[in-house]
Amino acid sequence: MARKLFGTDGIRGKANQEPMTAETALRVAMAAGRRFTRGDHRHLVVIGKDTRLSNYMIEPAMQAGFTAMGMDVVLVGPMPTPAVAMLTRSLRADLGVMISASHNPFEDNGIKLFGPDGYKLSDDVEAEIEELVENGLLEHLAPADRLGRARRLDDAQGRYIEFVKHSFPRGVRLDGLKLVVDCANGAAYKVAPRVFHELGADVIPIAIEPDGTNINRECGATSTGTLQEAVVAHGADLGVALDGDADRVILCDETGQVVDGDQVMAMIARSWHETGRLSGGGVVATVMSNLGLEKFLESLGLSLERSQVGDRYVLELMREGGFNLGGEQSGHIILSDHSTTGDGLIAALQVLAARADAGKPMSDFAQVFDPYPQILKNVRVSGGAPMDAKTVKAAVDAGEQRLGGEGRVLIRPSGTEPVIRVMAEGRDEAAVNAVVDEIASAIAEAAA
């Protein structure tokens, strides 16, 4: 069955437009409730959200859908995505739901689902849920005496804060360290500053005043300018930028230099390799990660295994190969010894732990490898199959030949937006730019 609802990271779209309407949210909840109802016990679902205005619409719709199917609901309010994954396991729930569009602007929203093991659902399970949404659910409604109930979990924030702190090495503290923490006016606006403060850091929190419409606006992991300025202005040792649901992190050093997810993985991999904690003989990343990361890992005798884009595909490959470190250049870092999904706070703490061992300022510690020049351009499309056009295929072939063995070309449709992403990297930056421009122009012409 062709996927109509689910993309690379759950369901996503414009709020109050299909598929992110109250009606569809209700039906998705009913279908997921039906799929995860097994046995005669009281079934339980955990629902978290970020700070978007539309969550006042989506959350109660999903609550209604689950209770209609006889599932009890635990509402945890604004909480990071990894907190929902953790609480789903901790509470022995049958299902976890995070209502968020991650790094997207407030006009968008999304639904991420977690199984009882705290992992994101597989493609096959998502397809089953889609089929249930399409084929009717009324015959499965719970009788009046079996309807679900809803309650709030008052200590959800405290539980998650302690969970994150537990990932930090025992006996290590952040005393004397000044941190700027950008919470993106999103799901971690309360918990993130507390984690670092309770571990001893002097915390300067920014973007902690969500109003329903300012999530990710000129702040957070996808817009680091404000963080960089604040780090320099306050003389901070490090800047930490989370995205709207705090499952990704981007750092900046004391000079304001951005440290992306590839460098974060390199820092953790080096530290864990030196201390014998790295499993699987390498790291799992996506096809988007820089060749410089691959070359650096090779210099340590480690491999870089690549998955398709999407942190759940990274995790699938990690589980298959026994890796405990993986992630994406965008800042989704999965540390499977600690969490079942990307967790920006845990990743930041692992970097801080490694830095404490090295005893160096972040600017000397964070730029682990020299990245190859990498250019990414998004080409907006309205439909059709421009990638099948002969002119596009010819442009791709010509680009690959031009870069030769010192570079690569990657073309892929976005799973969350109506765009085709054109990426190239290689040692010659001018050649990389030219290749991307030529391929992007060919796609735009073919899509016109």
Q: Which residues are catalytic?
A: 102
CA–CA–CA angle 422, 423, 427 (5° rounding): 150
User: Which of 86, 213, 211 shows the shortest CA–CA distance to 159?
Assistant: 86
- The per-residue b/e assignment along 404-431, b for 16 or more CB within 10 angstroms, e otherwise, is eeebbbbbbeeebeeebbbbbbbebeeb
3-state secondary structure of 83: helix
Cα–Cα distance measured from residue 421 to residue 310, given in angstroms and rounded to the nearest whole number = 14
Cα separation of the two ends of the chain: 29
CA distances from 29 to 47, 66, 80, 282 (A): 11, 5, 20, 38
CA pair distance 427, 406, nearest whole angstrom: 6
Cis previous bond, 143, omega within 30? no
Do residues 111 and 11 lie in contact, with contact meaning Cβ atoms separated by under 8 Å?
yes
What's the CA angle centered on 356, arms 237 and 252, to 5 degrees? 35
